[in-house]
Structure 1
C-alpha cells in the first residue's frame, strides 16, 4: 500500500481493523498473449502504481497459502502494522503467525518508515489483539535504504534504536499514546528478539511468484514446456462417456452394418484406429487443461475453449450429409482458426485443438449428429 493507505496517520492505539479473506486475484486481460520487446520483471514492477502492486502482492500471497492454515488480509485504515496475516494454526492471531507489511513508496524505505510499523504491532500485542508474530516481513518494490537495511540486519541495534525513540521526549514516534501504554510497549520490546523484523527482497518475492499461475501472464515470459503426453487409459472413464457416445453414433450412422458400442469401438477394424486417435486428442486437451491451471491465470483455458467454440459452431450447425462429414469438417477447420491472441497458444498443438472440440462435445456444446438431418 502507499503512504496514504498505510494508516500511518492514525494513532497505533486506535480502533482495530477487521480481517477478510484474500480474494482470488483478477486479471482484466486474462488469456490474451502480449507481444513486444522483453522487459524484466523488476523493471515492470518499478513502473507499477498502487493498484498493480497490491494485485502483485495478492498473487504472491496465494503462493504462500501452502505453508499456512489460513491467509487473511487486514481491512480498514488502522492496519496495526500488518497488511497480511498468515496463520500457522487454527488459533489465528492468538497462535503462531507471520506478519507481512507492504509499502509502495517512490523511494527505498527509511528507518523512519519502519519504526512506526514496529510500534503498531507492539501496541496491538499489548492491548491483547494478537500475540507477536513469529516473523514480521516488510515488502517494498524499492527495498530499504542502506541504513534501514543495516538496522534490520542488526536486531540488537534495531531494538536499541526503537527503545531510544520511545524514550526520547522530542521523538514523534509515540505521540498521542498514553504513558502507561508506552511503558508496556517498552517492557515488551526490551525482551523481544528483534530478528523477527526483516525485509523481503524483491528477488525472493519474484522467485516464489514464479511458481504461481500468474507469473507468465503478468511478466509476459515464455510458458514452461508441457510435460510429455501420457497415453489415454485402456478403460473408458466416466467423465468421457458423452463425447465417446457421440463418436459411436457418428460411426454407427456411417457403418450401419457394424455393431458398435462404447466399450468395443476401439477394437473395431473399420473405425477403431480413428476412434483411438480422437480419444488421445481428448486426453491431450485434458492435460492442457491441467497444465493451464498451474501455468496461467484462472479462466485462460476456458476463454480459449470458448473462442474455439465460436470459431466452429456455424459449421457445426450447418447442413451436412452425415455426422461424419460434420465431424471431419469441424476438426479440419479448428486447425485453421487464428487463436494467436491467446496466452496458451505457444504450447497448443493441432491435436489439442481437436481434443478441445471433443471436450465441447462431452458437454453437448457441440453435437455431431443433427436431429434435423
Structure 2
C-alpha cells in the first residue's frame, strides 16, 4: 500500500469544500435534469470521486473503517478501496467505469485479468467483494457469465488470455501457465457483483453529498425541525446569559430566568426568553440545512449572519435606557431584513429566523446587550 498515492476520505462531519467536480451553486438549484441523466453526463474523474464518497457516507453500515480513492495510472485495477480492516488487508474493491453503454465482457475482461494476476501474485489480497459500477449498468450477458461460480467466465478468460486479456492488462500481464490456470479454475467469482445505477442514486440521496453532485432544485434544501429542550442546554449558555444581563438591567436587580422560573416577577422575561429560544432553534435549523447544502468555504448561513449583523449595526450603536429595550429594538429591526433571493437558503429564512440569528450572534458574543464595566 505504501507505494500508492492514496486519497484518504475522512469521516463526514462537515461537507467537503467545493472541488471542480462538484456542481456550482447555480447548477445545484436547477431541476431540469434527472439524477440518472446527471450521472450519465459526469466525467470519469467525478464518477470515481462520487463513488468514493458514496462508499464512505452511505455504506458505513457495512462496517468500513477507511475508504480510499486509488484510481490513477498504476492502480492495478483498483479505483476505490473500502477497508473493514486495513492492517489485515480485509477490504471491498469498487471498479468504476464511466462508459456510455452497459458494460460487456469486452469492457471487463481486462479488469478480471488484473484481479486474477494481482491476487495470484499476492500483490494484494482477494477482496471480500468486487463491485462494478457503471452509469449504464452491467450487461446481462456479462452477469450471466458469473453464474455457477463464473464457470463460463473462466473458460472465456483462459481462451482469450494470450490474445485479448494480455492487451487489456498491459505491461503487468503474465503468461497462462499451469499454476495460473489452476488458480483461475479455483477462483471464487461469486465475489464479483454489480451495483445498479438506481440503487447507487437512492443510497447517495440519503447522504449529505447528494446535493453537491446531483443538485435537484431548491426543494432539496430543507429544514429539519429541532425540538426546543425544556431546559436550556450548554450550547445556549452565552446568549441566555446575555439576555439575563439585559433583563437584570431592565429590572434593576439580578435576574436569572431559568433559576427564577416560578417567580411571577420574571414572567414577562420568561415569555420573552421562550420566544427567543424558539427563534434561536429555528435559525439553528437553517444553519444545519446550509451546512448540508453549501461547502464550508461558502457557507451561506455565515454570510446571512454577517449581513444581518451589518443591517442592525446602526441600531446596535444607539443609546437605550436599558438592555432589554435594546434587545426588543434590535429584534424588531432584524425581523425586517430581506434575504437576497440569490441565496440558496433564502426560502428557509423568515422574520423569526432573522431574529434567531441575532441570538446566534449573541451566542458567539458578537452582540452584547449591555456593556459591563
Q: TM-score, normalised by structure 1?
A: 0.80
Residue 269 in structure 1 maps to residue 267 in structure 2 = yes
| Alignment counterpart, residue 26 of structure 1, candidates 17, 24, 33 | 17
In 1, Cα distance between the equivalents of 2:50 and 2:101? 19
Q: What is the aligned partner in structure 1 of residue 136 from structure 2?
A: 142
In 2, Cα distance between the equivalents of 1:153 and 1:224? 43
Which runs of 5 or more structure 1 residues have no equivalent in the other structure?
Answer: 1-14
In 1, Cα distance between the equivalents of 2:119 and 2:165? 25
Change beyond 3 A, Cα 1:297–1:156: farther
Q: What is the aligned partner in structure 2 of residue 241 from structure 1?
A: 237
| Alignment counterpart, residue 77 of structure 1, candidates 67, 73, 79 | 73
Q: What is the aligned partner in structure 2 of residue 102 from structure 1?
A: 96
Deviation at 1:244, TM superposition (A): 1.0
Query: In 1, are the aligned partners of 2:162 and 2:176 still within 8 Å (CA)?
Result: no
List aligned pairs for 1:1-373, cutoff 5 A. 17-22=4-9, 25-27=16-18, 34-62=28-56, 63-67=58-62, 68-74=64-70, 76-93=72-89, 95=90, 97-152=91-146, 155-166=150-161, 172-173=167-168, 176=171, 183-217=178-212, 218-221=214-217, 222-223=219-220, 226-234=223-231, 236-256=232-252, 258-261=253-256, 263-264=258-259, 266-267=261-262, 268-290=266-288, 295-299=292-296, 302-316=299-313, 318=315, 319-322=317-320, 323-335=323-335, 336-369=337-370
Query: In 2, are the aligned partners of 1:31 and 1:344 still within 8 Å (CA)?
Result: no
Query: In 2, are the aligned partners of 1:324 and 1:368 still within 8 Å (CA)?
Result: yes
Deviation at 1:46, TM superposition (A): 2.0
SS of the residue corresponding to residue 85 of structure 1 reads: strand
In 1, Cα distance between the equivalents of 2:274 and 2:38? 46
Would you tell me which structure has more helix in proportion to its own residues? 2
In 2, Cα distance between the equivalents of 1:85 and 1:60? 12
In 1, Cα distance between the equivalents of 2:169 and 2:73? 18
Change beyond 3 A, Cα 1:173–1:111: same
User: Once the two structures are superposed, what CA deviation does each residue of 1:88-133 show, in whole Å capped at 9, x if it has no partner?
Assistant: 224352x3x2100111233433322211111112222122222111
Deviation at 1:219, TM superposition (A): 2.4
Which runs of 5 or more structure 2 residues have no equivalent in the other structure?
Answer: none
Q: TM-score, normalised by structure 2?
A: 0.80
Query: In 2, are the aligned partners of 1:31 and 1:342 still within 8 Å (CA)?
Result: no
Deviation at 1:280, TM superposition (A): 2.5
In 2, Cα distance between the equivalents of 1:197 and 1:100? 10
In 1, Cα distance between the equivalents of 2:365 and 2:160? 69
